[in-house]
Amino acid sequence: MVRRISLAHGEGGELTHQLIQHLFIQSFGHQDQTQFDSAILQGPFENIAVTTDSFVVNPIFFPGGDIGKLAVTGTINDLAVSGAIPEVLTAGFIIEEGFPLPDLKKVVHSMAAEAEHAGVKVVAGDTKVVEKGSVDGLFINTTGIGRITGEHQLKPETIREGDAVMISGTIGDHGVSIMSARQELGLLNEVQSDCASLNHMIHKLMQEVKGIRIMRDPTRGGLATTLVELCEEFHCTVEVDELAIPIRDAVHGACDILGFDPLYLANEGKLVLIVDRASQQQALNLLNKHPLGTEAKVIGQVTAQGNTAGKLHVRTPIGTTRRLHRLSGMLLPRIC
């Protein structure tokens, strides 16, 4: 029996799943809120979506971004993939005594710039400072609120056999950029984090493409864990083609050296979506025209629907098929 929290409880994989199911959902009782990355509110706040995320990435500056940009994009993306238009954010800072003020300024300016770029407002904040050694530098919580409009209704219950599974670009970039920033790869690697706000691209997609069943951003736990969760939640089987998944050579290289599987590496600016086969080409064209979707690809399809146990299969380059599970154990702590 688990008596202590381990790093794996925060990796977005199996143990995180168990903690959420057995402690948080049981205590706070909102089983119905698990369909999307944001909670879709009811009653007085109908058509409002809310999501929260704490960012503990180490180091706080990395190729392609920093903890501030990440804190904005991460929360914006959770709203956007839930079909909401992100409108406002709150920002809570926990800062270690002695933290350099110029670094804090850099991070805050980076947040402000990304928020402006994405068209959201940071409306409330909080600052706590703790003694040296009680926190590693700087942690940021962002909570986001978005609007669900008529055109933004996702219908995961309409997922059916033959639907296309798509990814908006290369996977694993964020994971490798963090490893690289930690100098675990020496000077070998120049991969930038993909850290980006997807809301404008998603908004366009949802306005123009009618057959989008569900969207997710494959962050902690990577593409594989995200797809396993979708399969389990919506009782479908998905088969992806390993060779169709866009992966940079540098990411492949880093994974080969370190023994990681890019399918489980975190992404911070990628969109996975399941689309009606009839809309697949339209969605792909639209994504490819957007700067954040130039390398979007169809990577697989829904091969069965309605079976109680959802499964993710991957077709390997040698033609065999294997089943993938959610991330289990520890991969990369403090990736976001």
Residues 24-43 that bind a second copy (CB under 8 A): 24, 27-30, 33, 38-39, 41, 43
Interface positions, 209-248, toward a second copy (CB under 8 A): none
Indicate the residue type of 147.
R
Interface positions, 89-128, toward a second copy (CB under 8 A): 90-102, 104-105, 108-109, 111-112, 115, 121-128
The distance of closest approach from Cβ of residue 91 to a second copy in the complex, given in angstroms and rounded to an integer, is: 7
Query: In this structure, are residues 167 and 287 in contact, taking their beta carbons and an 8 Å threshold?
Result: no
Cα–Cα distance, 209 to 289 (Å, whole number)? 14
Binding pattern for the stretch 41-60 against a second copy, x by CB under 8 A and - elsewhere: x-xxx--x-xxxxxxx-x--
From the list 82-90, 156-164, 169-177, 229-237, the region that binds a second copy by CB under 8 A is 82-90
Task: Identify which of residues 99 and 158 has a Cβ nearer to a second copy in the complex.
Answer: 99
Indicate the residue type of 281.
Q
Interface positions, 296-335, toward a second copy (CB under 8 A): 333-334
Interface positions, 7-26, toward a second copy (CB under 8 A): 7-11, 16, 19-20, 23-24
Cα–Cα distance, 151 to 270 (Å, whole number)? 22
Binding flag, residue 187, a second copy (CB under 8 A): no
End-to-end CA separation in angstroms for the chain:
28
Choice from 88, 244, 257, 304 touching a second copy (CB under 8 A): 88
The distance of closest approach from Cβ of residue 236 to a second copy in the complex, given in angstroms and rounded to an integer, is: 25
Cα–Cα distance, 215 to 219 (Å, whole number)? 13
218 C-beta neighbours (distance < 10 Å), count = 29
The distance of closest approach from Cβ of residue 333 to a second copy in the complex, given in angstroms and rounded to an integer, is: 6
The distance of closest approach from Cβ of residue 167 to a second copy in the complex, given in angstroms and rounded to an integer, is: 24
DSSP secondary structure string for all residues of 216-284? E---TTHHHHHHHHHHHHTTEEEEEEGGGS---HHHHHHHHHHT--GGGS--SS--EEEE-GGGHHHHH
Task: Identify which of residues 7 and 258 has a Cβ nearer to a second copy in the complex.
Answer: 7
Indicate the residue type of 12.
G
Interface positions, 127-186, toward a second copy (CB under 8 A): 127-131, 133-136, 139, 141, 143, 145, 147
Query: Which token pair is 249?
Result: 């050579």
Rounded to 5 degrees, what angle do the CA atoms 138, 140, 145 make?
170
